[in-house]
């Protein structure tokens, strides 16, 4: 076999390696171990060289065990070399002995590269859309041998080795090949099996040995406090979700019902001993619960690997690895598949804004500021003590973009809620004057982050039309949820943080004062259709001393429950998709903590069970009535009926959709029943009271309109009905025919 002209084992420069080269191998300082170790053509003959610490004798063999020649010990530390009887550059094995011990090692330096020139080109260009199939650790059969191919981007390193349980964590055993065109180091490690812990041992540009680094592309990790990556076979999952994915790929999500249950997987429920549920156990409990409750989607706080429980996953060190807290990655795939089989989508909180500075993570990965900016004014986040990704570096942007595609392809997730978008967009986010660096035009916009966000959204929707992206963005940045080709950021939806803050502020006020803050309810409609909004009552509102939603409500206990019931129905009748954090559906009193499960015992009390039943009914009402969801993001789907009755703190509006019966939503945000209250309606006749938050079944006082009201035409031509508005309640009306 003729030696390949490129990308094959390198030819030695002399009959034997120099003492300096041998020492460099023994000390693991050689930056090009493939030029020394492996098979080499020396003046037309083949020579094998290996480093096998602890060996006294070494014999080279082919893969079938046939002897190719005995090697000579050049250094008692374990360096051997000698001629071998082979016809070309093929994988070989070494049979080593020491005393009575024998073992066999397949030579990793006798294999050709796995990556090729086109990989180098696309990696360097930043346009590779399948990096997760090339970088990291991948099980494969290479040149007839099973093992794992390892590849990592570290362009400024002097030497990179993969170390793990399979080589005694010895950086001299698997020193990697450097691909200069891309800055990627790679090696095929034969005979390595799945489930082996590993990291990368790196000598930085200045010759300093760095802390061992976890694999940025690791698909599985050890359970904290351990921090190693784990070799993993390709994900095996028989997917039964074709109909689910085809549905979401074919519809306009803006016109579909979307009601999201936000979940922290580690604290929704726990075992009696306080340990986590596995993904399979969560599937057995959480999926039926959400299906019964009528939620269309489950949104998880980040499930990528992270070291510190109180970060809730927002400081991730392993973007490609589902956290080991809940079992193996296949368990998460089974969970998603189970959700899809009953029509529930799965959304992941995704954190491309920043990363923690743990020494095994991305910070100073190859001894330089590789993933982050070197200047702390650009590369360090003062709020969270984290590093900020350098979005302007093509390889970094590609690393993150590929991660978005990875979750869609490998785990079939239905969407990504992108965390902390505002911190990405603004260079002066949370910084004082002089603490930030303007962009090339002197502005505060992070142009690299803008391009990254736009390219990621284009790639996600282009490659996975069944997915959606949602921005957690709290500023007035324009066109967050408009297409890139129209100058937008390209997100499908944006969290409506203003709605959340204004309405919670209003409901926290004593009812007697609400008439002075009427605009906190009405103002939101001035911008309600500027973006495609999700209305979030999220985890951020029930932590860090903010208390639970029920605790935020004004008044005594009865009023608190009534306020919250009225608020939920107000929100479900308001234009926009819905999101509710776990525990708030049954009005958990205590503030949420990631360290314990929810207070499920509260469901034994009628007021809490009534709240849960209301949220369930709201979900199914919202889903079944197109008037409530089909024009969530378009102004023609909303019309005020009563907007200026601040004295009574009453609001009423119409939700509508083409060809559908309209729904009238009426809110009385005072504890005073309003008798003989006139509400204008768009149609004469009988209207059914399809929901009343004051119903006894929900824990209310039972006041209402007997299930029906009649709208009549008056002398001036207007149409209205005379109603009883229950105290601190929201009702919904629908025409009977």
Percent of the chain exceeding pLDDT 90 equals: 92
The CA distance from 473 to 208, in Å, is 40
Q: What are phi and psi of 153, to 5 degrees?
A: -90, 115
The CA distance from 219 to 322, in Å, is 7
- pLDDT for 528-556, tens place per residue? 999 999 999 999 999 888 899 999 999 99
Which pairing describes strands 318-322 and 729-735: parallel, antiparallel, or unpaired? unpaired
Average pLDDT in the 373-396 region? 93
The verdict on whether omega for the bond into residue 697 sits within 30 degrees of 0, i.e. cis, is: no
The CA distance from 619 to 437, in Å, is 47
Average pLDDT in the 18-34 region? 92
The SS3 of residue 49 is strand
User: Does the annotation count 675 as an active-site position?
Assistant: no
Q: Confidence class of residue 11 from pLDDT cuts 50, 70 and 90?
A: very low
**Model confidence at 187: pLDDT above 70:** yes
583: left (phi over 0), alpha (psi -120 to 50) or beta: left
- CB-CB neighbours of 643 under 10 Å: 15
Tell me the two tokens of residue 502: 């204004």
The CA distance from 134 to 124, in Å, is 13
In the sheet that holds 57-61, the strands lie side by side as: 38-42, 45-51, 79-83, 67-75, 57-61, 93-98, 101-106
The CA distance from 62 to 547, in Å, is 68
The CA distance from 166 to 187, in Å, is 14
Which pairing describes strands 67-75 and 468-471: parallel, antiparallel, or unpaired? unpaired
Residue in the structure block whose two tokens are 């207070």? 599
Domains of the chain: 19-106 (2.60.40.10), 117-231 (2.60.40.10), 241-495 (3.20.20.80), 635-735 (2.60.40.1180)
**Model confidence at 16: pLDDT above 80:** no
658: left (phi over 0), alpha (psi -120 to 50) or beta: beta
Of 513 and 31, which is predicted with more confidence?
Answer: 513
CA atoms within 13 A on the CB side of 161: 27
**Long-range contacts formed by 73-78: CB under 8 A, 24+ apart:** 74/16, 74/17, 74/22, 75/22, 75/26, 77/26, 77/51, 77/53, 78/26, 78/51, 78/52, 78/53, 78/54
Query: What's the confidence (pLDDT) of residue 89?
Result: 78
Query: What's the confidence (pLDDT) of residue 15?
Result: 56
CA atoms within 13 A on the CB side of 410: 22
Sign, Cα dihedral of 41, 42, 47, 51: negative
Which has the closest alpha carbon to 262: 501, 498, 615? Answer: 615
Residue in the structure block whose two tokens are 């966000």? 453
The CA distance from 309 to 323, in Å, is 11
Query: What's the confidence (pLDDT) of residue 88?
Result: 75
- pLDDT for 639-662, tens place per residue? 999 999 999 999 999 999 999 999
Query: What's the confidence (pLDDT) of residue 7?
Result: 44
The CA distance from 382 to 370, in Å, is 19
User: Does the annotation count 455 as an active-site position?
Assistant: no
Q: Which residues face 731 on adjacent strands?
A: 666, 692
The CA distance from 98 to 73, in Å, is 13
State the DSSP H helix or E strand holding residue 251, giving kind and residue range, or none if neither: none
Query: What's the confidence (pLDDT) of residue 176?
Result: 97
Query: What's the confidence (pLDDT) of residue 2?
Result: 36
DSSP string, 271-307: -TTSPBPPHHHHHHHHHHHHHHHT-SEEEESP-EE-S
The SS3 of residue 648 is coil
Per-residue CA distances from 301 to 258, 304, 721, 725 (Å): 18, 9, 45, 39
The CA distance from 63 to 67, in Å, is 10
Sign, Cα dihedral of 590, 595, 598, 601: negative
DSSP-assigned letter for residue 221: B
12's CB contacts (< 8 A; 6+ apart) are: 35, 36, 40, 41, 42, 47
462's CB contacts (< 8 A; 6+ apart) are: none
State the DSSP H helix or E strand holding residue 421, giving kind and residue range, or none if neither: helix 421-425
- pLDDT for 289-326, tens place per residue? 999 999 999 999 999 999 999 999 999 999 999 999 99
Query: What's the confidence (pLDDT) of residue 3?
Result: 35
Which pairing describes strands 93-98 and 57-61: parallel, antiparallel, or unpaired? antiparallel
Query: What's the confidence (pLDDT) of residue 141?
Result: 97
Per-residue CA distances from 64 to 39, 142, 240 (Å): 18, 16, 42
Residue in the structure block whose two tokens are 């029930």? 542
Query: What's the confidence (pLDDT) of residue 659?
Result: 95
- pLDDT for 413-468, tens place per residue? 999 999 999 999 999 999 999 899 999 999 999 999 999 999 999 999 999 999 99
Average pLDDT in the 121-137 region? 91
- pLDDT for 657-698, tens place per residue? 999 999 999 999 999 999 999 999 999 999 999 999 999 999
- pLDDT for 601-643, tens place per residue? 999 999 999 999 999 999 999 999 999 999 999 999 999 999 9
Query: What's the confidence (pLDDT) of residue 13?
Result: 43
Per-residue CA distances from 507 to 510, 518, 668 (Å): 8, 11, 12
The CA distance from 343 to 561, in Å, is 31
- CB-CB neighbours of 50 under 10 Å: 25
Q: Which residue in the list 262, 305, 409, 472 is annotated as catalytic?
A: 472
Per-residue CA distances from 276 to 5, 141, 303, 553 (Å): 54, 36, 13, 32
CA 228 to chain centre: 20
- pLDDT for 204-233, tens place per residue? 988 999 999 999 999 999 999 999 999 999
DSSP E strands: which ranges in 411-507?
Answer: 415-418, 468-471, 493-495
The CA distance from 53 to 72, in Å, is 14
**Model confidence at 12: pLDDT above 80:** no
The SS3 of residue 77 is coil
The CA distance from 605 to 699, in Å, is 10
What does pLDDT average to over the chain? 94
Which has the closest alpha carbon to 21: 54, 51, 42, 47? Answer: 51
Q: Which residue in the list 59, 419, 466, 502 is annotated as catalytic?
A: 419
Percent of the chain exceeding pLDDT 70 equals: 98
Which has the closest alpha carbon to 699: 500, 561, 502? Answer: 561
């Amino acid at each position: 076999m003729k030696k390949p002209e490129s990308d094959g084992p390198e030819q030695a420069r002399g009959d034997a390696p120099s003492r300096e080269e041998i020492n460099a191998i023994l000390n693991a300082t050689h930056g090009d171990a493939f030029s020394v170790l492996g098979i080499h053509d020396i003046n037309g003959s083949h020579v094998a060289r290996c480093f096998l610490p602890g060996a006294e004798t070494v014999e080279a063999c082919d893969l079938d065990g046939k002897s190719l020649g005995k090697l000579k010990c050049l250094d008692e530390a374990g360096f051997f070399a000698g001629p071998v009887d082979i016809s070309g550059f093929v994988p070989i094995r070494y049979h080593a002995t020491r005393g009575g011990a024998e073992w066999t090692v397949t030579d990793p330096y006798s294999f050709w590269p796995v990556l090729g020139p086109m990989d180098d080109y696309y990696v360097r260009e930043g346009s590779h859309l399948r990096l997760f199939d090339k970088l990291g650790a991948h099980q494969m059969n290479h040149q007839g041998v099973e093992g794992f191919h390892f590849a990592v981007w570290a362009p400024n390193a002097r030497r990179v080795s993969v170390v793990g349980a399979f080589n005694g964590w010895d950086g001299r055993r698997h020193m990697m090949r450097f691909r200069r065109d891309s800055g990627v180091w790679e090696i095929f490690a034969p005979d390595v099996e799945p489930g082996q812990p590993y990291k990368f041992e790196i000598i930085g540009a200045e010759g300093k040995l760095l802390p061992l680094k976890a694999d940025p592309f690791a698909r599985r990790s050890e359970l904290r406090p351990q921090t190693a990556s784990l070799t993993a076979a390709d994900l095996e999952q028989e997917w039964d979700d074709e109909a689910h994915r085809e549905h979401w790929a074919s519809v306009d999500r803006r016109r579909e019902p979307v009601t999201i249950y936000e979940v922290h997987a580690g604290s929704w429920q726990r075992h009696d001993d306080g340990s986590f549920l596995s993904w399979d156990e969560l599937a057995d409990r959480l999926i039926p619960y959400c299906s019964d409750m009528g939620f269309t989607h489950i949104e998880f706080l980040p499930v990528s690997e992270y070291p510190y429980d109180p970060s809730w996953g927002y400081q991730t060190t392993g973007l490609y690895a589902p956290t080991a807290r809940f079992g193996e990655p296949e368990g998460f795939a089974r969970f998603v598949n189970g959700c899809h089989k009953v029509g529930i989508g799965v959304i992941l909180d995704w954190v491309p804004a920043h990363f923690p500075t743990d020494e095994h993570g991305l910070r100073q990965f190859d001894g330089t500021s590789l993933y982050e900016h070197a200047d702390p004014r650009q590369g360090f986040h003062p709020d969270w003590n984290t590093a900020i990704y350098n979005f302007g570096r093509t390889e970094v942007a590609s690393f993150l973009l590929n991660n978005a595609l990875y979750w869609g392809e490998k785990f079939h997730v239905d969407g990504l809620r992108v965390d902390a978008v505002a911190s990405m967009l603004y260079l002066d986010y949370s910084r004082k004057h002089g603490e930030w660096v303007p962009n090339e035009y002197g502005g505060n916009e992070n142009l690299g982050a803008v391009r990254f966000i736009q390219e990621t959204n284009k790639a996600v929707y282009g490659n996975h039309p069944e997915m959606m992206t949602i921005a957690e963005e709290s500023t007035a940045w324009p066109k967050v949820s408009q297409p890139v080709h129209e100058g937008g950021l390209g997100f499908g939806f944006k969290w409506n943080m203003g709605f959340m803050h204004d309405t919670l502020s209003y409901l926290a006020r004593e009812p007697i004062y609400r008439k002075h803050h009427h605009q906190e309810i009405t103002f939101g409609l001035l911008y309600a259709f500027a973006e495609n909004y999700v209305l979030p009552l999220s985890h951020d509102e029930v932590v860090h001393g903010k208390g639970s939603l029920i605790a935020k409500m004004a008044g005594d206990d009865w009023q608190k429950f009534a306020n919250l019931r009225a608020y939920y129905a107000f929100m479900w009748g308001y234009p926009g998709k819905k999101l509710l954090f776990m525990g708030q559906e049954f009005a958990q009193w205590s503030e949420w903590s990631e360290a314990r499960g929810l207070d499920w015992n509260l469901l034994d009390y009628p007021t809490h069970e009534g709240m849960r039943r209301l949220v369930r009914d709201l979900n199914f009402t919202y889903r079944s009535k197109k008037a409530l969801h089909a024009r969530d993001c378009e102004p023609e789907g909303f019309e005020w009926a009563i907007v200026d009755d601040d004295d009574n703190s009453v609001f009423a509006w119409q939700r509508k959709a083409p060809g559908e019966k309209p729904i009238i939503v009426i809110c009385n945000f005072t504890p005073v029943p309003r008798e003989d209250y006139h509400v204008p309606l768009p149609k004469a006749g009988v209207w059914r009271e399809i929901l009343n938050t004051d119903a006894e079944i929900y824990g209310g006082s039972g006041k209402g309109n007997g299930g029906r009201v009649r709208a009549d035409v008056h002398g001036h031509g207007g149409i209205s009905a005379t109603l009883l508005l229950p105290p601190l309640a929201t009702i919904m009306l629908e025409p009977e025919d």
